[in-house]
Amino acid sequence: MAMAPRIRTRLHHNAHVTTDMAAVRHFYEDIIGFPLVATWCEKTHLFGKERVYMHCFFDIGDGECLAYFQFADEEDQQEFGPELPMSGFRHLAVKVDQATQDALRERVAAAGYEEPDAYFLQHGYCWSLYVVDPAGMIIEFTVDHEDVDAINADQLGKAHSELQRWLAGDHTPNNEQFHR
């Protein structure tokens, strides 16, 4: 099977919905340090009716953004969310260096975030600080393992065979070396 050509691009933005933009702005700009770079207020005909909403963009680095929508109309707010149940498996992960992760960990703690709204996990290939934002979205700040290039090369060489093994019903963990 021929592989599709690789797309070379970068993230423009990752969008979510909030009912409290002021709290989201405070969290991302004042605590985390992602500056608010745009606020767009719009009235547009979408999905069968006119909607009035705003969306704010927070720069997460290199011009890539995290965006949040908030609706003026309560019915629209209910229709569009945030409706997803909280799950640690739904999150946005941002790669940072160790000094940045350490500073974020201190700022998050100083702002009063503690388990279950802030927690740290060692995955083996990276160490991650997870924080639940005021809209209920989890953002992960990850620092790669010092041998990440070798780890990634090893995973690349067996990514398809590991997928096929899992899909065939063999659910044996392949990350045991990091979870002792």
Provide the CA 131 distance to its chain's centre, in angstroms: 10
Same domain? 126 vs 152:
no
Same domain? 100 vs 165:
no
Percent of the chain scored above 70 by pLDDT? 88
Q: Is the pTM of the predicted complex or chain greater than 0.85?
A: no
Same domain? 137 vs 153:
no
Same domain? 107 vs 163:
no
CATH code at 86? 3.10.180.10
Q: What mean pLDDT do residues 20-27 have? A: 93
Same domain? 129 vs 155:
no
Residue 161, domain member (yes or no)? yes
Residue 62, domain member (yes or no)? yes
Tell me the per-residue pLDDT of 66-102, one tens digit each, with 9 for 90 and over: 999 988 888 888 888 766 655 565 788 888 999 999 9
Residue 8, domain member (yes or no)? no
User: For every residue of the chain, which 3-state class applies, written as one string?
Assistant: CCCCCCCCCCCCEEEEECCCHHHHHHHHHHHHCCCEEEEEEEEEEECCEEEEEEEEEEEEECCEEEEEEEECCHHHHHHHCCCCCCCCCCEEEEECCHHHHHHHHHHHHHCCCCCCCEEEEECCCEEEEEEECCCCCEEEEEEECCCHHHHHHHHHHHHHHHHHHHHCCCCCCCCHHHCC
> How many domains would you assign to the chain?
2
Same domain? 140 vs 154:
no
Same domain? 83 vs 170:
no
pLDDT band at 154 (very low <50, low <70, confident <90, very high): confident
Is the pLDDT score of 43 beyond 80? Answer: yes
**Distance (Å, whole) CA 30 – CA 133:** 12
Contacts with 141 (C-beta within 8 Å, 6 or more apart), sequence order: 93, 94, 96, 100, 101, 104, 128, 129, 131
Q: Are strands 138-144 and 126-132 parallel, antiparallel or unpaired?
A: antiparallel
Sheet with strand 118-122: strands edge to edge: 91-95, 138-144, 126-132, 118-122
Same domain? 75 vs 164:
no
Same domain? 70 vs 157:
no
Same domain? 126 vs 153:
no
Same domain? 60 vs 30:
yes
Provide the CA 50 distance to its chain's centre, in angstroms: 30
Residue 1, domain member (yes or no)? no
Same domain? 87 vs 174:
no
* Structural domain that includes position 161: 148-178
